[in-house]
Every structure is written in structure tokens, then in C-alpha cells.
A = this chain, B = another copy of it.
Amino acid sequence: MAVTIKDVAKLANVAPSTVSRVIANNTRISEKTKRRVREAMEELGYHPNLNARSLANSSTKTLGLVMPSSAEKAFQNPFFPEVLRGISTKAHEEKYALLISTGVTEKEIYEAVVGMVQGRRVDGIVMLYSREDDQIIDYLLDVNFPFTVIGKPFQNEEQITYIDNDNYKAGKDATNYLLELGHERIGFIGGDISFMFTNDRLLGYKKALQQKGISLRSRYIVHEELTEEEMKKEIVYLMSLEDCPTALVVADDFVALKVLYILAELEISVPKAVSVISFNNLLLAEVSTPSLTSVDINIYKLGYEAADCLLKQLATSSKERKKITVEHQIIKRHSTDVR
């Protein structure tokens, strides 16, 4: 087998426990032996066996990540690499590793999560999404396992630490921006409503209109839950109305790209005939034609903070729940214009 703590101990002429203490950088070890032990480690090319360590002190120094089912198209959204980048950066700062759940169906993922929790493979979990009726959250709550959620939970909000944007306000801000540009007939093209943020943004949209005394029309609200084709039909129909919208608030940049595509087919010019604002400010918002005015929700930071929060919770083993709101900002580009 590989070189162990015993080999190092022998070479350095100390007890294994001393080596262990040197690794932990225990203050009660003399500098001299520390040096000697370190030299021995160096010479033998020693690396600690992390499983053994985990077993002995029941701490894994790894965080579990739960992604949505890879069967879903949500998975393909460039949102994920970006949160991952945030989480990864913070995790690395604290020398934590990242274990990700596998499984394509919801049930498989659920079981994988139970496996990693009960199997003592992770110290805490970051949920990379928040959706309705999530068994995983119920489970974690039930066994009282540390976790944070990116996005606002549907249930048990008061018991859960989560990181979110103020999506309600983001929806309002986006809509207000269009209102300020002089638009009054404003439509809303939503994403999957089983995700919490879609809901919140929709509420914000409604509120903004209401505050301006503009009455809502259910016609103006289209959800993407349906198939590609159906969404397309809905939009085509929407734009064929005599009093069709002059501006659209769209759930996210990816959906916005689809919308632009459909509008181009209909030969409706953006932003001349219709303005479009969307959310997330993915890299692609910048390079779409026209470039998208988009609400930057700071995805990287969502990830970073989610990891930070969880790590702090683990360090202090506090059970206090927290809510962190990451700021957003409208990035003005060429898909919006005055009425």
C-alpha cells in the first residue's frame, strides 16, 4: 500500500500521533520535531488518506451539490456553470471539495442525496435550485442536516437558510424600466413556474403594472411550461392581437433568445416594434442580436454566498437560519427602446 502516517513516524523517529498532530499543526508540538516530521513527509511523498481521516473524526471536508434532474432542460442552462464557479471558489478557499449528485430522475437524485448524507460523505449540502414540493428539502430538514438553498424555498421558508435575489423587486424593476420607456402594453413570458423565481418575477411584474394603474390582462401572460411549439403558438397569437404588447418581460435570457427568434420570424423588429427585457445576464445576453437588456442577478455571487453561508454554519455549528439577498442590476443594451 501507499505510504502512511506510520512510515513517516518511523522515519522521523516519533509516534504516529505526533505526525497526526503535525498535520493538524497542533501548537503543542515543538518547531524542531515539526520540521523533522515535515521533512520525513516530504521525503516519502506522504499524503493523508482522507477516508481514514473522515472515518476517525467524522468530518469530510466536502460539500454536496444537488442539481435539478438532468432529464430537465433547466440543466442545460448556462446558469449552472456560473453558480458552480461561485461555489467552487468559496469551497476551495476553505479547502472543501465538492461532491455532486448523480441521477436522472427525481427519485434517483433523492436517493443519491440520502446516500451521501447517510453515507457520511459530505458535511453539508447546497441545493442549486428551488422548486415546489421538493422531497429532498423535506428530508434534509427532517434529519436536521446542514444545507443552504439557492432560490427561495416554497415551503418552510422560516426554517431554511437560503440565498436569493429579490426576484419580486427584480420583476418590478424590469417592468418599471419598460414603463419608464413609455410602454403600457407589456407582456410577460415566463419560464417554468415550478421554479420559485419565475413566480416572484411574475408577481413583481403584476405589482408594477398595478401601481401604474394598468389593468392586467391574462392574455399578456405566457408560460413556458408547455412545449417549444406551444409556446411559439402562444406568442404568435399574442403578437397577432390588435392591441398586442409593445414590450415583453421575459423569464430569462435563454427564453428571450427563443422569443427573439420567433419575433424575427414574424418580422417584428426588436426593439423598434417590441422591446424585450430579460433576466440573468448570461454571457449570451451580450452577444445575442440585438444584445439583450437584462437584469443581472449576480449568479456567481449566489453560488459564492451559498457556499459561504453553509461553511459558516458548519464552522459554528449554529442552527440559526439566515436569508441572504443578492442585489440585482439592470444592464441596458439594445433590445429595449422608448415606445
Contacts and interface: CB of A to CB of B under 8 A. Distances in A.
Nearest to A291: B261
Nearest to A55: B51
A91 interface: yes
B81 A97 contact: no
Contact of A98 (B102, B114, B118): B102
Most chain B CB inside 10 Å of its own CB: which residue of A89, A101, A102, A258: A102
B49 A55 contact: yes
Contacts of A91: 102
A80 interface: yes
Interface string A180-192: 0000000000000
Contacts of A2: 118, 120
A322 interface: no
A13 to B, nearest CB: 24
A311 to B, nearest CB: 12
A98 B100 contact: yes
Nearest to A121: B50
A267 B323 CA distance: 48
Nearest to A105: B92
A24 interface: no
Contacts of A51: 51-52, 54-55, 60, 119-121
Interface residues of A, number: 59
A205 interface: no
Name, among A62, A85, A114, the residue most crowded by chain B CB atoms within 10 Å (CB to CB).
A85
A257 interface: yes
Contacts of A58: 1
Contacts of A47: 114-115, 118-119
A148 to B, nearest CB: 17
A23 interface: no
Interface string A240-258: 0000000000000010011
Contact of A97 (B76, B88, B104, B121): B121
Contacts of A81: 75-78, 80-81
A151 to B, nearest CB: 17
Contacts of A78: 76-78, 81
Most chain B CB within a 10 A radius of its CB, from A51, A60, A264: A51
Contacts of A108: 92
Contacts of A55: 49, 51-52, 55
A307 to B, nearest CB: 10
Given A2-B118, A97-B116, 11 more contacts: A51-B60, A70-B84, A70-B85, A70-B88, A70-B89, A84-B100, A88-B102, A98-B99, A257-B284, A260-B289, A261-B291
20 contacts: A1-B58, A47-B114, A49-B55, A49-B120, A50-B115, A51-B52, A51-B54, A70-B85, A78-B78, A84-B100, A88-B103, A89-B102, A91-B102, A97-B102, A97-B112, A99-B99, A254-B287, A261-B291, A264-B289, A284-B284
